C-alpha cells in the first residue's frame, strides 16, 4: 500500500476529523474559561484625580474598586497644593478592569527652595535665561519709567517685592519690573 492510499483510508480520516474536533472544542472551552477568569467585560472608568488630596483620591479609587500606588517624583507644580495629585496613570476616563492599580504622582511638600540670582540692573535678555535656568518661571513683565531701557529694576513674587538672595520654591513664578528708557524715575 502506498503512503497516499494510507491517508485516504476511512478509519484514518475519521480519526483525523475527530482529533480536529476535539482540538477545536478544547480551544473554545479554554478561551471561554479564560474570559470568565480574567473578567473580560467587567470594567470601570478611572476618575479624574488631578488636584485632589491623597485621602480624597484614595476614597474615589476605593469607590470605583481600584487600587492606588504612589510613585516618587521630583516634579513640582506650583498650581497645586502640597500633597495633591499632579499626575495619574492610567488617565482619567480610561476603561480598566476592577482592582487595577492607578499610579499617582503627588506634589512634594518639601520642594527645595533656591535663592534668587542677581539680575537687578541686567537687561531682560540676560535676566530671563538666568532666572529660568535657576528653575523659576517668568510671569508678568511690567514696564515703568526708568533710564535703563529693558533693565530689570525689581523682582516680585505673588505681589511682594523680593531681594537678590531670598530663597523661594523652585518653579515659582516671578514678575519683573523693567525700565522703559524714559528719564523720569518712578519709585514704585
Q: What's the order of all strands across the beta sheet hosting 101-106?
A: 67-71, 101-106, 85-89
Under the banding of pLDDT at 50, 70 and 90, the label for residue 186 is: low
The span from the CA of 36 to the CA of 98, in Å, is: 14
The mean pLDDT of 77-99, rounded to a whole number, is 87
pTM above 0.75, yes or no: no
Query: Which residue bears the cell 518712578?
Result: 186
The span from the CA of 113 to the CA of 43, in Å, is: 43
Residues with Cβ within 8 Å of 93's Cβ and at least 6 positions away in sequence, in order, are 45, 46, 48
* Of 34-38, 88-92, 149-153, minimum mean pLDDT range: 34-38
* Of 5-9, 22-26, 113-117, 159-163, minimum mean pLDDT range: 5-9
Amino acid at each position: 500500500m502506498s503512503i497516499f492510499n494510507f491517508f485516504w483510508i476511512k478509519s484514518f480520516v475519521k480519526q483525523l476529523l475527530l482529533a480536529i474536533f476535539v482540538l477545536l472544542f478544547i480551544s473554545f472551552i479554554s478561551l471561554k474559561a479564560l474570559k470568565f477568569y480574567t473578567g473580560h467585560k467587567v470594567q470601570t472608568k478611572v476618575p479624574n484625580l488631578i488636584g485632589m488630596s491623597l485621602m480624597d483620591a484614595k476614597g474615589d479609587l476605593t469607590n470605583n474598586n481600584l487600587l492606588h500606588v504612589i510613585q516618587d517624583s521630583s516634579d513640582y507644580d506650583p498650581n497645586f497644593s502640597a500633597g495633591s495629585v499632579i499626575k495619574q496613570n492610567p488617565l482619567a476616563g480610561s476603561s480598566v478592569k476592577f482592582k487595577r492599580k492607578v499610579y499617582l504622582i503627588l506634589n512634594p511638600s518639601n520642594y527645595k527652595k533656591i535663592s534668587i540670582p542677581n539680575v537687578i540692573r541686567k537687561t531682560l535678555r540676560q535676566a530671563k535665561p538666568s532666572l529660568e535656568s535657576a528653575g523659576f518661571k517668568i510671569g508678568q513683565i511690567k514696564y515703568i519709567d526708568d533710564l535703563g531701557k529693558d533693565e530689570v529694576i525689581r523682582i516680585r513674587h505673588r505681589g511682594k517685592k523680593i531681594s537678590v538672595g531670598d530663597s523661594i520654591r523652585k518653579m515659582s513664578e516671578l514678575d519683573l519690573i523693567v525700565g522703559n528708557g524714559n528719564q523720569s524715575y518712578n519709585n514704585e
